[in-house]
Structure 1
Amino acid sequence: MAMPRFHTVAAFVVLGVSAAWVLTGEFSSIGSAAQDTTSDEPKVEQAAASTEKMLRTVAVIEPAFIQHHRIIRISGVTAPDKRTTLATRSAGILGELKVKKGDTVQAGDVVLVLDGAEKQAMVDTARALLDQRKKEADNIERLVKNGISPSTQSDVARSALASARSQLEAAQADIDRLTVVAPFGGIIDQVMVEEGSWLPSGEAAAVLLQLDPVVALGEVSEREIAHVTVGSSADVRLISGDVVSGTVRHISLEATSGTRTFPIEVAIDNPENTIPSGMTAEIMIRSEAVTAVKLPRSVVTLDAAGNLGLRILKADNTVGFVPIDLIDDSPSGLILSGVPQDAKIIVAGQDLVSEGETVNAVPADATLVTGATVKSTEQSQ
């Protein structure tokens, strides 16, 4: 029998080894298995770095708190402290007009006098009758005392005396009504009559104004009425640009039905009568001081419900929202209250993040917080 050739034997050996290798399945781990076991840690680090890059970066500040007076601004108009129309109290011819427009008068000064010669005669007659009745009453009293006349005569005499006295008082009242006097000191703003004209009773003769103090009238909304009290200081900017100081002297307890606003009065010293009545004015009332912060307008934002407020950084580096109250609007920024004392306010990127979102916070650059009051020691940290 012939021996098999060497290459035939070698072929069968290679075939057997290959079949055994395929059946074990170990070929799938060659090269790749070693690489997978060594690449797990870099993949974890790469995922963490990717998450780190996903956090939004925002700039924050720690504001400095100040005491600031709330300024309530309302539109108003100036008005006299007192105003009255002087009118005749009796009919007659205007005999003497003692004032003209622009004159200053004091309380009790005579403004005009009506002619009344006949009424003066009635006063003289009543006075003479009173003297006569006095003498008659005295004589009757003596006769009654001496027992010559009955006591009833004394009663008749006293009654006649009282009647004469009443007639004199009535005649004197009639003549007093011929004179018109100023009820308070002020300026004669208008004169509507001329000497020699016939004036019926109740005819308007002159307008008297008292302009010291002058009063600024305005109306405060029902939202702000709680911040205004009698005695509060106020500045009044006139249409001329002048700013004068005053004091709230009256707050109405009843709102205007149409506007639901409360009328107020601000009294302003006006010794020289330089502030006229009827001038447009802006009333700025200072309320009690409140704790507030000063921030640029760009910091203020809205939450999902449309409320005005600020986005802040919480201790766990998540975003929060606090509603605020606008106290004042200055040229350099807004004055806001309602901010927590330990708040870190997001001043850049606040419109790109939402409540509850984790962020990467960095101190704000000085150019981002122009107009804000910032804690200088903590700003540098």
Structure 2
Amino acid sequence: MPKFKFHRVAALVVLALSAAWVLTGEFSSVGSALSEQKPESSPDAATLHADDDKTAARLITAEPSDILPTVAVAAPDFIAHRRIVRVSGVTEPDKKTVLATRSAGVIETLNVTEGQLLKSGDVVLSLDGSEKQAAVETARALLRQRENEAANVDKLIARGISPKTQADDAQSALTAARAQLETAQAEFDRLQVVAPFGGIVDAVEVEEGSWATTGEAVATLLALDPIIARGEVSERERDLVSIGSEADVALVDGSLLTGTVRYVSREATAQTRTFPVEVAIANPDRRIPAGMTAEIRLKAEVVQAVKVPRSVVTLDAAGNLGVRVVDADDVTAFVPIDLIDDTPDGLVLGNVPAGARIVVAGQDLVSDGEKVRALPAEAAFPDSKPEGSAAIGLSLKSSETSEAGAAERGAVASQ
């Protein structure tokens, strides 16, 4: 009989023992025993439900003020503010003309140079025209002759020597002589170019002794007193500007001038749909040149407004710019505002209702019609504070209020 090897015998023994253990079913008690054991520290389902009921009851019975959102509010002081309409513009002369010859000829005398001041009627240049001067003298002599003839005819008619028909002939000859003199004088006057208004000669285009054709440009004349700042206002702002109102003009060199609106167009520019406006500024020394870039600050009528920091302004769901206010019952509401001016120390707003308390911190965390707990914020508006100090104070106050409200709401939620 062949001998079995040891490892075969060992395998048969392990198989027999495993089969016997499976048949007993004792292995099933391992998992069951574990599932039936409960740690003493783990709460059962009844305990968990009881805790939930207690939490809900505590939230329901809590005071309303404990769960209201907290905001900081301030009552602004209304001020009388003049709306400023800012437009880009340029300085222009009050009058500008290019002087030109009215006849052809050689320039005999040139009486001006660039930068020279002229008065109305000053002779700028004269053309050579001796023949036209002679024509004037001839016409003047003929007129004297016709005047004498007419006087002699009147005497003869008065004595009854000459018929009255000769008086008509004499008057006709006298009238023709006068017309001839006027024509000759007009032709002679065309030899001169005179200044139509007082101003400064900006450019001279000809030289003495040169030939000038009829209509040739001679010189450019500018009237710089007053100087005009010209710009264009939008359709929405045109009604805010009126003739005679005051305006400030800031030039690129840092000069700040004051003028008066003298013209507002009644027809918009076709390309831009804006209305030209002119501001006249006194310039007696003609220091301000034409062609400088300028910012025109048109001053509208005085309106009631409030000055607030920029952080106070918010948007509603439709994207409208406004502020959030709190009424007497501490209920919030959104008020659309009119942005009147943007100053270095805050925004100037119109359309803010009288007596309103403006939410200065937490305005973006509440919605319209929501009941809140309003806490006063001191030094929120910069009307009576040095520039920048109020805004800084408001930022600090807003930060403290926001943190306090957030901590309080977190404490309530954690209870």
Common topology (TM > 0.5)? yes
Among residues 318, 324, 329, which one is paired with 2:337 in the alignment? 324
| 2:274 matches 1:257 | no
- Residue identity in the other structure for 1:140: V
For residues 247 and 139 of structure 1, the distance between their equivalents in structure 2, rounded to whole angstroms, comes to: 64
- Residue identity in the other structure for 2:210: S
Structure 2 counterpart SS, 1:274: coil
Provide the residue aligned with 2:357 in structure 1.
Answer: 344
| 2:67 matches 1:54 | yes
Contact 1:318 1:357 in 2 (8 A): yes
For residues 136 and 231 of structure 2, the distance between their equivalents in structure 1, rounded to whole angstroms, comes to: 51
**How far off is 1:46 after superposition?**
4.3
Kindly report which structure 2 residues correspond to 1:165-184, keeping only aligned pairs within 5 A, or say none.
165-184=178-197
Contact 2:92 2:229 in 1 (8 A): yes
For residues 42 and 165 of structure 1, the distance between their equivalents in structure 2, rounded to whole angstroms, comes to: 119
Structure 2 counterpart SS, 1:137: helix
- Residue identity in the other structure for 2:221: L
For residues 174 and 64 of structure 2, the distance between their equivalents in structure 1, rounded to whole angstroms, comes to: 114
Among residues 205, 211, 217, which one is paired with 2:218 in the alignment? 205
Q: Deviations over 1:235-269 (max 9, x none)?
A: 10001111111111111111112222111110111
- Residue identity in the other structure for 1:154: A
Contact 2:74 2:378 in 1 (8 A): no
For residues 173 and 102 of structure 1, the distance between their equivalents in structure 2, rounded to whole angstroms, comes to: 30
- Residue identity in the other structure for 2:382: G
Among residues 246, 251, 256, which one is paired with 1:238 in the alignment? 251
| 2:373 matches 1:360 | yes
RMSD (Å), alpha carbons: 2.3
| 2:96 matches 1:83 | yes
Among residues 144, 168, 177, which one is paired with 1:155 in the alignment? 168
**How far off is 1:353 after superposition?**
1.1
Provide the residue aligned with 2:382 in structure 1.
Answer: 371
Contact 1:65 1:373 in 2 (8 A): no
Provide the residue aligned with 1:29 in structure 2.
Answer: none
**How far off is 1:136 after superposition?**
2.1
Structure 1 counterpart SS, 2:114: coil
Provide the residue aligned with 1:64 in structure 2.
Answer: 77
Structure 2 counterpart SS, 1:49: coil
For residues 197 and 42 of structure 1, the distance between their equivalents in structure 2, rounded to whole angstroms, comes to: 107
Contact 2:76 2:381 in 1 (8 A): no
For residues 127 and 101 of structure 2, the distance between their equivalents in structure 1, rounded to whole angstroms, comes to: 9
Contact 1:296 1:372 in 2 (8 A): no
For residues 59 and 315 of structure 2, the distance between their equivalents in structure 1, rounded to whole angstroms, comes to: 36
Among residues 229, 243, 246, which one is paired with 1:216 in the alignment? 229
Contact 2:102 2:214 in 1 (8 A): yes
Kindly report which structure 2 residues correspond to 1:129-148, keeping only aligned pairs within 5 A, or say none.
129-148=142-161
Provide the residue aligned with 1:300 in structure 2.
Answer: 313
**How far off is 1:149 after superposition?**
2.6
- Residue identity in the other structure for 2:192: T
For residues 315 and 69 of structure 1, the distance between their equivalents in structure 2, rounded to whole angstroms, comes to: 30
**How far off is 1:108 after superposition?**
1.1
**How far off is 1:50 after superposition?**
7.4
Q: Deviations over 1:133-190 (max 9, x none)?
A: 2222222223333333322222111111111111011111111111111111110001
**How far off is 1:51 after superposition?**
5.3
Using the aligned pairs only, state the percent identity: 60
Q: Deviations over 1:28-53 (max 9, x none)?
A: xxxx9xxx9xxx99975642327544
Moved more, 138-147 or 47-56: 47-56
For residues 186 and 261 of structure 1, the distance between their equivalents in structure 2, rounded to whole angstroms, comes to: 31
**How far off is 1:365 after superposition?**
5.1
Contact 2:339 2:347 in 1 (8 A): yes
Contact 2:107 2:209 in 1 (8 A): yes
For residues 85 and 121 of structure 1, the distance between their equivalents in structure 2, rounded to whole angstroms, comes to: 30
Contact 1:64 1:373 in 2 (8 A): no
| 2:138 matches 1:122 | no
Aligned length in residues: 337
For residues 230 and 181 of structure 1, the distance between their equivalents in structure 2, rounded to whole angstroms, comes to: 33
Gaps of 5+ in 1: 1-31
For residues 108 and 158 of structure 2, the distance between their equivalents in structure 1, rounded to whole angstroms, comes to: 51
Moved more, 128-137 or 219-228: 128-137
Provide the residue aligned with 1:26 in structure 2.
Answer: none
For residues 158 and 345 of structure 1, the distance between their equivalents in structure 2, rounded to whole angstroms, comes to: 92
For residues 53 and 212 of structure 1, the distance between their equivalents in structure 2, rounded to whole angstroms, comes to: 71
For residues 286 and 372 of structure 1, the distance between their equivalents in structure 2, rounded to whole angstroms, comes to: 20
Contact 2:113 2:204 in 1 (8 A): yes
For residues 377 and 284 of structure 2, the distance between their equivalents in structure 1, rounded to whole angstroms, comes to: 53
Structure 1 counterpart SS, 2:257: strand
Contact 2:100 2:216 in 1 (8 A): yes
Provide the residue aligned with 2:260 in structure 1.
Answer: 247
Structure 2 counterpart SS, 1:272: coil
- Residue identity in the other structure for 2:190: R
